[in-house]
Chains A and B, each alone.
Chain A
Amino acid sequence: MSESPTPGPVVSDELTIELRGVHKWYGQFHVLKDINLEVKKGERIVICGPSGSGKSTMIRCINRLEEHQRGQIIVDGTELTDDIKNIDQIRREVGMVFQHFNLFPHLTVQENCCLAPIWVRKMPRKEAEEAAMQYLEKVKIPEQAGKYPGQLSGGQQQRVAIARSLCMNPSIMLFDEPTSALDPEMIKEVLDTMIELAESGMTMLCVTHEMGFAKTVANRVIFMDGGEIIEQNRPDDFFDNPQSDRTKLFLSQILAH
């Protein structure tokens, strides 16, 4: 696993995310059990596993949408603690794309994109608007800039959500099942956008069951079950030669259809 197996930008040796012995409970329920994960700059990781296995919870801990109770999470050299300063610092560096887009329905597409740069990065409005247009062009919907999210299709909304995250100029992007709420014909346009992003060298953590996407862009596939990381490997090894029985069972289920 020392070399990058897939074509695309070279992964550096510098660590950008570290999870060390992370545990999390929801009340009595132990959701994350001793999670250890190291992510290098530029790495593209796909996380899969059965429903309820803690995938969302894990990536939501990385930007503190959920709080972990034990262990350490270090992002870009900053450790996540109760210190609000550290949390803000990390959230600026980490973009997130949700299953249900979570665009702000009362703002236009462009305003959705400008909001955080203006209020969090204190960027001048004009500059933020120009940057927003640039990213909307990147996700191929500059012509929708003046519309409201409610007037767009699901695929377009998700691409706006990606552009909105990119406007903060993050060094890491988290995706939580970005295509699961979409119709099949829209999945492709979103995946294409994500592939392009991967080619630009972005560090990406992506919860998805799109195995084609995993094969083409991921450096590493992580399989989770019952709150644990069961197996992680290069995509070709992961799919062709799974080690654990649970992985095999899971793969047989999702590849069956």
Chain B
Amino acid sequence: MSTHTPQPDLPPPITSVGVIGWLRTNLFSSWGNTVLTLAAAYVVYLTLPPLIEWALIKAHWLGDSREPCDLEKGGACWVFVSVRFNQFMYGLYPEAQYWRINLAAILLVVLMIPLFIKQFPWKLWLGFFVLFGYPVIAFYLFSGGVLGLEHVETSRWGGLTLTLVLASVGMAASFPLGILLALGRRSSMPIVKSVCVVFIEFWRGVPLITVLFMSSVMLPLFLPEGTNFDKLLRAMIGISLFQSAYMAEVVRSGLQAIPKGQYEAAQAMGLSYWQSMSLIILPQALKLVIPGIVNTFIALFKDTTLVLIIGLFDMLAMIEAALADPKWLGFSIEGLSFAAFVYWIFCFSMSRYSMALERKLHTGHKR
């Protein structure tokens, strides 16, 4: 009779772990792969050093005029950006009132921090407050007219502030609206269903630029004489309705991916329609479509630049205006690079956050 002795656990071979192993499996696993790796390395070698030299090493950072940039060419002139920085951030908002925007921003950050702390017990309430209470506070801070704050017209809001206001209002409105539209489109009630289908197909079928244009040119024609509908508000409504149609289709794709058994189990337990949607179906469906939701949000964020055509000055519009300044002609590369960088930071953060969220919500395999 032979007895079985279990084999000891051996470490993996050295060539499959560590730096060498990683290089081998990822970069040099085959001839084709090796060629691609080398070609890519060459492209990086050609482009990266000159870029770093232009953007960082030979660049001019400080000062308040273009003289140093003109004397010594070859590098970026970030002086242009730093001189105009405040306008890029706050638009035409009165300088003495900048603190109000800063205060609103700080308040938002302070309110958001506990939402990311795991043990914080009143997350739900705080979340509600951030969504519904905070916008009111921010509105009165920005616009003033109360508590002795000087009134600032919405037409003077601008720069990155405006971009963020438009984007966050658009996101906060289009998300719930999109969910309702998606549920409506899958409803068994024919009227609800057709209203949602018509709404979605209409808004998806027209370009945002026309929506914005029509909202500022055509809408006043339909409204009674003398009603003055704020331009910014019209843009917000236009963007929200437009994006909610996209959001609805993203959410609907998630709803379709949930197996029928989940609906049936919820029903069999006696949960009502809204209970089963909010407790069972939507949490799963939304988790599945996080990438699609973030995609829509990123598109929305960048689409806010289109408000330029109805005369609102978001960050890109402020940069364009600065580029037209006769004293600072010829710095469009710097200006647009700065814009690209700022947009990229925000969009990339959203993308990273969504990936972290997906990891956090992962609960093992679905069966």
Question: B: which residues have CB within 8 A of A?
Answer: 259, 261-262, 264-265, 267-272, 275, 279-280, 283-284, 287, 361, 363-367
Min CB gap A175→B, angstroms: 12
Bound-state Cα–Cα, A64 to B268, Å: 8
User: Which residues from chain A contact B364 at a C-beta distance below 8 Å?
Assistant: 105, 148-151
Residue of A nearest to B267 (CB): A65
A91 touches B269 (CB 8 A): yes
B268 touches A65 (CB 8 A): yes
B366 touches A120 (CB 8 A): no
Supplied contacts A88-B272, A149-B364, A150-B367, 8 more A-B pairs, CB within 8 Å = A63-B268, A91-B270, A96-B265, A100-B261, A105-B367, A106-B287, A120-B271, A120-B275
A-B contact pairs, 30 of them (CB 8 A): A65-B267, A88-B272, A91-B269, A91-B270, A95-B268, A96-B268, A98-B265, A100-B259, A100-B261, A100-B367, A102-B264, A102-B265, A103-B265, A104-B265, A104-B284, A106-B287, A115-B271, A115-B279, A115-B280, A119-B271, A120-B269, A120-B270, A148-B363, A148-B364, A149-B367, A150-B363, A150-B364, A150-B365, A154-B367, A157-B367
Bound-state Cα–Cα, A243 to B198, Å: 59
Min CB gap B239→A, angstroms: 31
Bound-state Cα–Cα, A100 to B264, Å: 11
User: Which residues from chain B contact A96 at a C-beta distance below 8 Å?
Assistant: 265, 268
User: Which residues from chain A contact B275 at a C-beta distance below 8 Å?
Assistant: 119-120
Residue of B nearest to A91 (CB): B270
Residue of B nearest to A99 (CB): B261
Q: Which of A63, A119, A151 contacts B279 (CB 8 A)?
A: A119
A102 touches B262 (CB 8 A): yes
B264 touches A115 (CB 8 A): no
Question: A: which residues have CB within 8 A of B?
Answer: 63-65, 88, 91-92, 94-96, 98, 100-106, 115-116, 119-120, 148-151, 154, 157, 164-165, 168
Known contacts A100-B261, A148-B364, A150-B367, A106 near B283 by CB under 8 Å: yes
Residue of B nearest to A108 (CB): B363
User: Which residues from chain A contact B271 at a C-beta distance below 8 Å?
Assistant: 115-116, 119-120
User: Which residues from chain A contact B267 at a C-beta distance below 8 Å?
Assistant: 64-65, 91
Min CB gap B276→A, angstroms: 9
User: Which residues from chain B contact A168 at a C-beta distance below 8 Å?
Assistant: 269-270
Min CB gap B259→A, angstroms: 8
Known contacts A63-B268, A168-B270, A105 near B366 by CB under 8 Å: yes
Min CB gap A214→B, angstroms: 23
Bound-state Cα–Cα, A157 to B261, Å: 14
Residue of B nearest to A150 (CB): B364
Bound-state Cα–Cα, A75 to B261, Å: 23
Residue of B nearest to A100 (CB): B261
Bound-state Cα–Cα, A180 to B116, Å: 44
In the complex, the 4 A-B pairs of residues with the closest C-beta atoms, listed nearest first: A150-B364, A102-B265, A91-B270, A102-B261
Residue of B nearest to A98 (CB): B261
A106 touches B361 (CB 8 A): yes
Bound-state Cα–Cα, A33 to B339, Å: 71
Residue of A nearest to B363 (CB): A148
Bound-state Cα–Cα, A65 to B364, Å: 29
User: Which residues from chain B contact A149 at a C-beta distance below 8 Å?
Assistant: 364, 367
Bound-state Cα–Cα, A96 to B271, Å: 13
Known contacts A104-B280, A106-B361, A116 near B366 by CB under 8 Å: no
B270 touches A150 (CB 8 A): no
User: Which residues from chain A contact B283 at a C-beta distance below 8 Å?
Assistant: 106
User: Which residues from chain A contact B268 at a C-beta distance below 8 Å?
Assistant: 63, 65, 91, 94-96
User: Which residues from chain B contact A150 at a C-beta distance below 8 Å?
Assistant: 363-367
Q: Which of B269, B361, B363, B367 contacts A116 (CB 8 A)?
A: B269
User: Which residues from chain B contact A164 at a C-beta distance below 8 Å?
Assistant: 269
Bound-state Cα–Cα, A104 to B259, Å: 11
Bound-state Cα–Cα, A95 to B269, Å: 7
Bound-state Cα–Cα, A100 to B269, Å: 16
Min CB gap A16→B, angstroms: 17
B261 touches A116 (CB 8 A): no
Bound-state Cα–Cα, A103 to B364, Å: 13
Residue of B nearest to A115 (CB): B279
Residue of A nearest to B281 (CB): A104
User: Which residues from chain A contact B262 at a C-beta distance below 8 Å?
Assistant: 102, 104
Bound-state Cα–Cα, A208 to B366, Å: 25
User: Which residues from chain B contact A91 at a C-beta distance below 8 Å?
Assistant: 267-270
A115 touches B363 (CB 8 A): no
Bound-state Cα–Cα, A149 to B280, Å: 14
